Structure 1
Amino acid sequence: MLALLVRDDLGVGGVSREVYVLYRGWSEQLGRGTFPADDSTWQYPPGAGAVILSPALLPWLTYFQAFVALALLADAVIAFALARAGRTDASDRAAPDQDPSPAETSVDPGAGTGIEARPGRGAGPAGAWLWVCGLPLLLHIPLARYDVQVTALAVLALLAVRRRPRAGGALAGLGALVKGWPLLTLLGTPRGRTTRASWASAAVAAAALLGVLALGHTHTLAFLDQQRHRGVQIESLGGTALAVARLAGWPGTVEYRYGAFEFTGPYVSSVARISLLLTAAACCWLLLWRLRARRWNPATPFDAALAAVLLFTVTSRVISPQYLVWLLGLGAVCLTSRHTRQRTVALLLLPATALSALAYPVLYEEVVAGTVAGVALMVVRNGLLLAAALLACRALWTGTRPDRRTG
């Protein structure tokens, strides 16, 4: 990964430019006390500013070197946390202040097989191996984006929330202010004090970080306007549908806008609206699941987080390759518990990850041009993600419904 990052000539090349040009420029502007309000590529919550500024913690290195070093450190933290969790299966131990009702007890769902949970016996190193072997499938992309750092916050939040809900909630809140999606790690927390404590802690942590950033910088919420104007990226599920339509004669074109290649032409706005409607439907489904779920097991928070992020990924107008960093991290957390129902989903992420790197940067010119090979590649990659999302939701729904034999 490091060798590819230094050479940076694979496929379309320019992967590392994100750090030494874009991120470095942002860090200089943030150092002057303002967020990039007039930059269409700045589309991230204000907490991202803290990550962009973090290379300053290593002043003896260049910005690029320091950023990569911190990405590697975050990678090591994730691998260590996953290996440790796999040995102890700490998720087996419910938080001491948890108070589920009789109808919402934490049971070993070993899938209705009657197997009792045995605290202390881990699921083994499968989660750590998924992360360690899966991340390099993205080539050097993870070291030139800040998604590994965000994933570290989400992974640590998930692993902590059951036994230390306030600490887990704080990590999730900080992650949410950096890139939004880590807040979904709290979706599957057991009802009762664990949920109340974790969500309250997340709100306090996010508000505190936002307050600090707002006091020191102007235009803190400028990213909202840039997000609003995003279109349909060519790598998204909607973009794949438009790419297939273009092969069949649709007259649309591809333009570079808002830091990504997007489709323009007839019906693109309709596809964008459909994507937003599907995201809203995903929110409603997750809320319905939460309200109707009755059986919690030690891995339910892990399984729920993976299903939720998969849903928001496949319904998004943008599916960048670094999204797979998030999914690999969450899939790896699921595999640290022997109670998870998402093993098949986690394994599906591996070919999807490899195909994502093949799409960018290796064959990105084919994807942008909309050739048969490029379109076929995106159809298979996005088909795998869609299948993983549907399987994850089915496993989550059936795993938390009451056993018919017991009502």
Structure 2
Amino acid sequence: METTGARRSLTWLLLTWGVTRLLLLLFVFKVYVFPGPDVTSDVSVIYHGWYDVLRTGTFPLDDVTWQYPPAAALAILSPGVLPFLDYASAFFVLACLADLVALSLLVYGGLRPGRRIAGAWVWVLGVPLLGPTVYARYDVMVTAVAVAALLAGARHPRLMGVLVGFAAMLKVWPALLLLGVRRRAAWAWAVGTVAALAAVFAVTMPGAFTFLTFQRERGTEVESLGALVFHVARHHGWDGQVLLNYGSIEFLGPWVNVVSSAALALTGMAFGWLLLWRLVATRFQAHTAADAAFVAVLMFTVTSRVISPQYMVWLVGAAAVCVCFRASRMGVPAVLVLVACFVTVLEFPLYFGDVVTSDPFGITLMVVRNGLLVAATAVAARILWRSTVTRKPVPAGLPDQAARAKKASASS
């Protein structure tokens, strides 16, 4: 009966993945037009432009929208492995393949002892909730590597270290996956991988680290938590502007620097909390590394000056790995992230015009989406703390039993 039920669940899982991903492909290939702004232009225009520059052996030195670590060049260049397709089409196919790789890893991991297939369901449902944007950004590729790293961590710390190091050089956030890892081998191999890749890119391609300057100068993006201040302020006389700046739609004007600095301060406080947790945590189980990674990614996403829609796929991937473990209690924050994904596709691209103009409906969407992320962060952090730091109550009668055993030992 259990085998039959598992096969039936797996069949429905794969069928759901196939149907939802077919819809995503139909949207990005524009067989059907998804409402709102064209989300595929980043691939057909920006990524393709970077591709032409990267093929010459240098990074886009004068393009402030290039804000990624050097290994991101591999993701941008990857459509070249499918020369029989145009650039955009090849990218969409590879994004779908990365999605399938993540699913396969979650299914394989979920079928192991002490695991469950529910994590794969989180991935299958969460990705399409973000709409076609998820296939029109390279974040799904990075997340697939991050999922592989987290699932490998318990049994293969060296492999985890290599995967984390590689993923961090694709996009910095996967470095957070090491937060709850105790084995030094994982840390050592991650650092070694980063150092090796950094050296290779620094020697072979000019401008490998110009992204650090461009990233530092970003402002407050209209979808971020701090942007809510200006969305409301525009209805009370604030005379700033909303413009395309450093590759995203940002608020520019009075007090923006203050809010951006406050966001950085919140990020620093989040880091402080995570550091404190790491110092005082005493109970580490098989799922603790995944839980800690989920909390860390939530914290740094919520406090960021920019919360682009594609960032949500990071959270879906981390949540999916957590839910793979039967002992993990991250189910509630995982559900909150899934609901936030649905609200995200409403605010971008469906009603992005309302968000940019600070229309009451647009503000409502941002309050709900960011509120869900804040709630998920608070709940997940509380679960992590209670499961690893807070002392468990001693069952009644246990001290007396221990005392009797000690006394008997002494008398003998």
1:309 aligned onto 2:297: yes
Q: For residue 385 of structure 1, report the CA deviation from its aligned partner.
A: 0.4
Aligned-pair CA distance for 1:384: 0.3
Is the CA contact (8 Å cut-off) linking 1:345 and 1:388 kept in structure 2?
yes
C-alpha contact 1:150 1:175 (8 A) present in aligned 2: yes
Task: Give the match for residue 58 of structure 1.
Answer: 82
The question of 1:129 aligning with 2:117 is answered no
Q: After superposition, what is the alpha-carbon deviation per residue over 1:10-43, rounded to whole angstroms, capped at 9, x for unaligned?
A: 3332211111111111011111111111101111
Residue pairs, 1:123-202, within 5 angstroms? 123=116, 125-189=117-181, 191=182, 194=183, 196-202=184-190
1:269 aligns with 2:248: no
Tell me what 2:46 maps to.
Answer: 22
Of 331-340 and 247-256, more deviation after overlay is shown by 247-256
1:330 aligns with 2:323: no
1:388 and 2:376 matched: yes
Q: Which residue of 1 aligns with 2:27?
A: 4
Contact 2:277 2:389 in 1 (8 A): no
User: SS state of the match for residue 335, structure 1?
Assistant: helix
The structure with the largest helix share of the pair is: 2
Query: Deviation at 1:404?
Result: 4.3
- 1:41 paired residue number: 65
Cα drift, residue 266 of structure 1: 1.4
What residue ranges of structure 1 are gaps of 5+ in the alignment? 89-119
Deviation at 1:122, TM superposition (A): 2.5
Contact map agreement 1:19 1:145 (CA 8 A) in 2: yes
Larger-gyration structure (1/2): 2
The C-alpha deviation readout for 1:299-343, integer Å capped at 9, x for no partner, is: 101110000000000100000000110000010001100111211
Do structure 1's residue 230 and structure 2's residue 218 form an aligned pair?
Answer: yes
Q: Which amino acid aligns with 1:353?
A: C
Question: Number of aligned pairs?
Answer: 371
CA contact 1:295–1:402 (8 Å) conserved in 2: no
Q: What's 2:328 paired with?
A: 340
Q: Work out the CA distance in 1 between the residues paired with 2:115 and 2:293.
A: 20
- Deviations 1:100-133 (CA, angstroms, capped at 9, x unpaired): xxxxxxxxxxxxxxxxxxxx2432x211111111
Is the 8 Å Cα contact of residues 297 and 315 (structure 2) preserved in structure 1?
yes
Distance in 2, matches of 1:309 and 1:357, equals 20
C-alpha deviations, 1:70-112, integer Å up to 9, x for none? 1111100100111111110xxxxxxxxxxxxxxxxxxxxxxxx
What is the rounded CA distance, in whole Å, between the counterparts of 1:28 and 1:384 in structure 2?
40
Write out per-residue CA displacement over residues 27-70 of structure 1, whole angstroms, 9 at most, x where no aligned residue: 11111111111101111111111111111122222111221111
Q: Distance in 2 between matches of 1:14 and 1:405?
A: 55
Report SS of the residue matched to 1:237: coil
Q: CA deviation at 1:372?
A: 0.4
Shift of 1:239: 0.6
Find out whether 1:71 has 2:71 as its counterpart: no
| TM-score of the pair, normalised by structure 1 | 0.89
Contact kept, 8 Å, 1:252 with 1:266, in 2: the verdict is: yes
The letter for the 1-side match of 2:89 is Q
3-state SS of the aligned residue for 1:36? Answer: coil
Does the CA contact (< 8 Å) of 1:41 and 1:258 recur in 2?
yes
Query: Which has the higher mean CA deviation after the structures are superposed, 260-269 or 311-320?
Result: 260-269
TM-superposed CA distance for 1:294, in Å, is: 0.5
Q: 8 Å contact 1:11–1:364 — kept in the other structure?
A: no
Tell me by how many angstroms 1:222 deviates: 0.8
Query: Who is 1:80 aligned against?
Result: 104
Whole-angstrom CA distance in 2 between matches of 1:350 and 1:250: 34
Other-structure match for 1:105: none
Give matches, 1:236-275, under 5 Å: 236-275=224-263
Deviation at 1:9, TM superposition (A): 4.2
Q: Percent identity?
A: 48
Amino acid of the structure 1 residue aligned with 2:47? Y
- 1:161 positional shift: 1.1
Q: Output the aligned Cα RMSD.
A: 1.3
Residues 1:168 and 1:63: Cα distance change in structure 2 (over 3 Å): same
How far apart, CA to CA, are the structure 2 residues paired with 1:391 and 1:249? 36
Partner of 2:306: 318
The aligned residue for residue 11 of structure 2 is none
Q: Which has the higher contact order (CA 8 A, sep 6+)?
A: 1
What is the distance in 2 between the residues matched to 1:340 and 1:245?
41
* Structure 2: tracts of 5 or more residues without a match: 1-23, 400-412
The reply on whether 1:376 has 2:399 as its aligned counterpart is: no
